[in-house]
């Protein structure tokens, strides 16, 4: 008699759970009448979709059973959940696991550990997410700068020795075994910038051995972009690894319009059989620290600063987003601040550059370049945002593509935009059962109004949530419903073992 009692106990526990949980987690349900953009190149078509547990079990013109819960999709578009290949919610998922700013955009999977920086050890971070899951699924990369600092400490402003590189490769090996999906680098940033190409190749080889991806914030996104793209291709070739140029952009006046050259380089590499792709966020303004502005690192040299400011079209294009030492400057651009203070933009920059926590937004890209990148079938959508990111991309990236670039300007078809948000990144991160609405795939789903969807976040109000995303499911569980996070946290660490 013991066994049935225990089983009964479990049944009682489940039944006594919060009402919300039952409402958001029916055993099976059918989304009826939606137009399904399945995530591939296939044009959207009307179909019903049945979800059982965490999977899609039927797609087609079947009739729901009388007892089956129904989600009305009439007039709406149903897409696979969006997979963000460059997301900065590593800390945010700890403090805000319901991830409202992410799920409200339709994001159901975030790839973390970007730009060379990952939590360490990776196993600990991922284990904490398994024990206390967030609303979204998590993919993790090993950060190159993270392992570099583990080995070199504060003595990183030089090339690493062979022995140090060997120790770094052991740490990448550890990270991959602990669940990372590849290696990320941020070669424009302080710690990564001192690494030679050979060092990165050595580490990328380890990631390749574990079937990982190399994703890079490349060495230069300004005047030397072409050289930096060439370096990614070299790394892909020498380490025999698939590679991704992350948040691809042309960020200074001198390289504006050179998209054709960048695209030609990548196409040429792809035609040689190298697996090189890119992701792109839908804004013409970047956000970073103060120091990236001066690529030669001569932050206090007036001539270097003058050149750097000229390269971005002047201080009017650089807005302070965060500056603990001078909070009154936040929201203003360098030209305004300098003018009000009666000093030059150069002097202003030299005065504030030592504030390590500073963040700036640079309005230094062009829409024509962004449009040309998005036109490439190997360029996917990313946000470079995340929970609490004070740039509109933190809350608006995906609805911005769907609302502005698909509906309003028709740069992309809806089918192609959805593919760039779903199956394309899914292939990249080897998420074999996600990114498509097909029988047997996991039920990460976004139900949205294609005629309404639009970002509302701006530089003045970066946290304003978007319109038009009606329901979002992660692993079959409703996480976003009509303007609110449900509080459900069904996210998993991917890929699942």
Q: What is the binding site for Zn ion (CB under 5 A)?
A: 115, 217
Least Å distance, CB 360 to Zn ion, is 14
**Closest approach of Zn ion to the CB of residue 110, in Å:** 15
Half-sphere exposure of residue 377, counting CA atoms within 13 Å on the CB side? 6
State whether residue 155 is helix, strand or coil: coil
- CB of 62 vs Zn ion, minimal distance in Å: 45
* Pairwise CA distance, residues 396 & 294, whole Å: 29
Tell me the three state secondary structure of residue 337: helix
Q: Which residue lies nearer to Zn ion by CB, 117 or 491?
A: 117
Minimum CB distance to Zn ion, residue 115 (Å): 4
* C-alpha dihedral (348, 350, 354, 359), degrees to nearest 10: 50
> What does the DSSP assignment read for 8-27?
HHHHHHHHTS-HHHHHH--S
**Residue closest to Zn ion, measured at CB:** 217
Distance CA 116, CA 186 (A): 5
Of 115 and 488, CB closest to Zn ion: 115
Euclidean distance between the first and the last CA atom of the chain, given in angstroms as a whole number: 36
Provide CB contacts within 8 A for 325, sequence distance 6+. Answer: 352, 355, 358
Give least dist CB 232 to Zn ion, A. 13
Nearest distance from C-beta of residue 407 to Zn ion, angstroms: 28
Q: Which is nearer to Zn ion, 48 or 364 (CB)?
A: 364
Nearer to Zn ion by Cβ, of 38 and 115: the residue is: 115
CB 133 within 8 A of CB 492: yes
CB nearer to Zn ion: give 115 or 470. Answer: 115
- Cβ nearer to Zn ion, comparing 24 with 114: 114
Nearest CB to Zn ion, comparing residues 115 and 345: 115
Q: Where are the alpha helices (DSSP H) in 30-99?
A: 92-95
Q: Provide, rounded to whole angstroms, the least separation between the CB of residue 188 and Zn ion.
A: 8
203 phi and psi, to 5 degrees?
A: -75, -40
């Amino acid at each position: 008699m013991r066994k049935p009692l225990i089983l009964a106990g479990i049944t009682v526990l489940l039944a006594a759970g919060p009402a919300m949980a039952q409402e958001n987690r029916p055993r099976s349900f059918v989304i009826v009448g939606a137009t399904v953009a399945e995530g591939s190149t296939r044009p959207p078509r009307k179909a019903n979709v049945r979800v059982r547990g965490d999977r899609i079990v039927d797609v087609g013109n079947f009739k729901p059973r009388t007892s089956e819960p129904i989600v009305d999709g009439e007039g709406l578009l149903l897409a696979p959940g969006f997979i963000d290949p460059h997301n900065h919610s590593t800390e945010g998922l700890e403090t805000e696991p319901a991830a409202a700013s992410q799920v409200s955009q339709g994001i159901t999977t975030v790839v973390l550990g970007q730009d060379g920086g990952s939590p360490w050890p990776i196993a600990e971070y991922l284990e904490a997410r398994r024990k206390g899951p967030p609303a979204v699924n998590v993919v993790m990369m090993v950060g190159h700068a993270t392992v570099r600092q583990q080995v070199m400490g504060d003595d990183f402003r030089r090339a690493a020795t062979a022995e140090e590189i060997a120790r770094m490769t052991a740490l990448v090996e550890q990270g991959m075994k602990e669940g990372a999906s590849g290696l990320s680098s941020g070669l424009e940033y302080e710690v990564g910038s001192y690494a030679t190409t050979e060092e990165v190749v050595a580490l990328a080889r380890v990631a390749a051995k574990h079937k990982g991806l190399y994703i890079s914030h490349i060495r230069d996104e300004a005047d030397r972009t072409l050289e930096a793209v060439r370096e990614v291709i070299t790394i892909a070739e020498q380490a025999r690894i698939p590679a991704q140029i992350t948040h691809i952009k042309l960020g200074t006046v001198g390289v504006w319009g050179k998209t054709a050259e960048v695209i030609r380089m990548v196409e040429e590499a792809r035609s040689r059989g190298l697996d090189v792709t890119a992701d792109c966020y839908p804004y013409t303004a970047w956000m970073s620290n103060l120091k990236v502005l001066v690529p030669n690192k001569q932050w206090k040299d007036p001539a270097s600063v003058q050149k750097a400011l000229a390269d971005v079209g002047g201080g009017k294009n650089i807005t302070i987003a965060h500056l603990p030492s001078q909070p009154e400057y936040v929201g203003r651009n360098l030209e305004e601040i300098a003018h009000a203070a009666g000093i030059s933009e150069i002097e202003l920059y030299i005065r504030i550059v030592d504030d390590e926590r500073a963040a700036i937004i640079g309005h230094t890209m062009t829409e024509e370049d962004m449009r040309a990148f998005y036109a490439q079938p190997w360029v996917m959508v990313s946000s470079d945002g995340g929970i609490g990111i004070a740039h509109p991309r933190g809350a608006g990236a995906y609805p911005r593509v769907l609302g502005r670039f698909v509906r309003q300007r028709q740069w992309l078809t809806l089918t192609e935009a959805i593919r760039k948000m779903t199956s394309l990144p899914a292939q990249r991160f080897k998420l074999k059962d996600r990114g498509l609405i097909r029988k047997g795939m996991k039920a990460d789903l976004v139900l949205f109004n294609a005629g309404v969807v639009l970002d509302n976040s701006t530089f003045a109000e970066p946290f304003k949530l978007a319109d038009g995303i009606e329901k979002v499911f992660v692993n079959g569980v409703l996480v976003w419903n009509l303007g609110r996070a449900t509080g459900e946290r069904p996210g998993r660490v991917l890929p699942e073992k």
